[in-house]
Amino acid sequence: MKAAADPLDELGIDLAWLLMLAEQRTPGDPQVTDWGALVAAVARHRAEIFGVPVYDSPHARAASLLQLLIHVPALERSNALFASAVAYGYLVAGGEKVAPTPEQVRDLARLVKEGAASVDDIARELRGWSV
C-alpha cells in the first residue's frame, strides 16, 4: 500500500496567492515595486533539476520563499513581514500546525536579513514553529 502524500509536497503557489497575502498581511497594503521578485518566488518554489525538486521538503520550500523575498524586496515597505507571512501561510495552507511567537518571527527575519542563514538553517527554524 502506498503511503499518503504529504499535502505540502503538492502545494503550489502563484502570483495571485502572493498578492493576496501582501494585501491581507501587510499594513496599509503596500504597492508592488518589483514584480520580478514575486515571479522569482513562484519559480524558486517550483525549482527542479532533472525532475528532482531543488527544495526537498515543505519547510525548505517555505524557507526558500522567505529568504528570496527578504533579499529581493517586492513591496515598497514591510518586506520582512510579507516574507514571514508567505512562509507561515505556505505551511498553514498545507495543513501544518504552526504557532510562532512574535519574537521567533522577528528573530528569523533578522537572521535572514543579515545574510548568514542558508535555506537549511531557515527551514530548521521554521520547523521550530510547528506545534
1: pLDDT strictly greater than 70: no
Model confidence at 10, pLDDT cuts 50, 70, 90, reads low
How crowded is residue 120: how many other Cβ atoms within 10 Å of its Cβ? 13
Provide the whole-model pTM: 0.89
Domain boundaries, the chain: 12-127
Round to whole Å and give the CA distance between 82 and 89.
10
Query: Percent helix, strand, coil in the chain (nearest 5)?
Result: 60, 5, 35
Contact 25, 46 (CB under 8 A): no
Architecture of domain 12-127: Up-down Bundle (1.20)
Condensed to tens digits (0 to 9), the pLDDT of residues 47-98 reads 999 999 999 899 999 999 999 999 999 999 999 999 999 999 999 998 899 9
Round to whole Å and give the CA distance between 107 and 19.
24
Model confidence at 6, pLDDT cuts 50, 70, 90, reads very low
